[in-house]
Amino acid sequence: MKILVFGAGVIGTTFAWQLSEAGYDVSLLVRKQRLVRYSHSGITIACTDMRDKKKEYEQTVFRPQTIDRLDPRRPFDLIIVAIKNFQLKDAVPYISKYSGDAHVLFLGNMWNETGYIKKHFPKGRYLLGYPGMTGGGRTENSVNTYLFGRGNTMIGEPNGQSTPRLKEVMKIMEAAGLRPASTHRINSWIKSQVVWQTATFGAATKAGSVRSFAENKKLVSHSGRAIKEGFKVCLSKGWSPFGVFPFNLFYLPGFLITGMLKKSYTPEMVEVMEAHFRHGFEEFKSLYSHILADGEKASVDMTYWKSFQPHINKADKNNQ
């Protein structure tokens, strides 16, 4: 099977590396100016691997096969799209036009973007997913990535069915150690995860860092309440978080939610989130605004969600 990973960020590079290590014929789509450098000099990968109840550190140089454009005359069987959500507007029409008959897995933070994908791809051509078992940060020539022992690469068909194609993609991910799991409610799962991540981004921005946020019980509590507000926005759009684990746990009393959230912020998770929010600031700022706008349109009380706005604006100004 020929696989293309579209996007050379942390997620795309990590998936391309692990799939290549598993023996698959993998190419990585990169910008033209990086084409020769990535093929010859490679990408330095520093990996903290916590799978199989262990914690191992590895540093390696990954020299992927690279391309800088899609060509229907050089077809792929599977294209994994791992880019920021605001990049999908330009990428989706391009991939739809030049991907031939390849199946396409969109992997990442998606909010209203799933509707945009649906407009450009016929039924049966694409799957949706979320890379919940890896994360990290990157510089120009290196990637610092974590492979978690907990968490999964969530995958599902947009219509919720279990198909031979889904099973095949799951098999590929399993062989690469990417901990796949499927759900028939992939849309609701992804939207709920996006709300959770984005509310945490807002609270961490208010705290000044993820570490300060994770140590602040009051702010963690506020993030939990903001998540519940975001879930109401999901419900207004027809996506139900409360039938999907672990988001159904937000039915619990507030003090239990706060405890659950604090327990999830392990040192490794805090480090990953710091890098994730730092390198993905523009993406999460955009998601924050879209969720807030949809909440206001649906007349959802977004008191806690809105409380993060001044701090995001200040951080945005400091980043400019």
140 and 260 share one domain:
no
Dihedral sign for Cα atoms in the order 80, 84, 85, 86: negative
149 and 240 share one domain:
no
**What residue spans of the chain are helical by DSSP H?**
10-21, 35-40, 88-98, 113-120, 164-175, 186-207, 210-214, 217-236, 254-264, 267-279, 281-297, 303-306, 309-319
Instruction: Give the residue from 128, 156, 184 where a domain finishes.
Output: 184
160 and 224 share one domain:
no
81 and 172 share one domain:
yes
165 close to 2: Cβ distance less than 8 angstroms: no
Predicted TM-score (pTM) of this structure: 0.93
pLDDT reported for residue 320: 66
Q: d(Cα 169, Cα 294) in Å, to the nearest integer?
A: 33
We report the CATH number of the domain holding residue 152 as 3.40.50.720
For the chain, the residue count is 320
Question: What range defines the domain where residue 218 resides?
Answer: 188-319
Q: Is the pLDDT of residue 36 over 80?
A: no
129 and 53 share one domain:
yes
We report the CATH number of the domain holding residue 255 as 1.10.1040
Question: How many structural domains does the chain have?
Answer: 2
236 and 203 share one domain:
yes
Q: d(Cα 25, Cα 227) in Å, to the nearest integer?
A: 40
Instruction: Give the residue from 184, 213, 242 where a domain finishes.
Output: 184
- 93's tokens: 């029409």
pLDDT reported for residue 250: 86
* pLDDT, tens digit (0-9, with 9 covering 90-100), for 140-160: 788 999 998 888 999 999 999
DSSP, res 32: G
51 close to 179: Cβ distance less than 8 angstroms: yes
81 and 206 share one domain:
no
Q: Is the pLDDT of residue 136 over 70?
A: yes
Measured distance between the N- and C-terminal CA atoms of the chain, rounded to whole angstroms: 43
90 and 154 share one domain:
yes
160 and 203 share one domain:
no
Instruction: Give the residue from 184, 206, 229 where a domain finishes.
Output: 184
Is residue 54 helix, strand or coil? coil
241 and 297 share one domain:
yes
- 81's tokens: 């799209």
Confidence bin at 167 (pLDDT 50/70/90): very high
221 and 248 share one domain:
yes
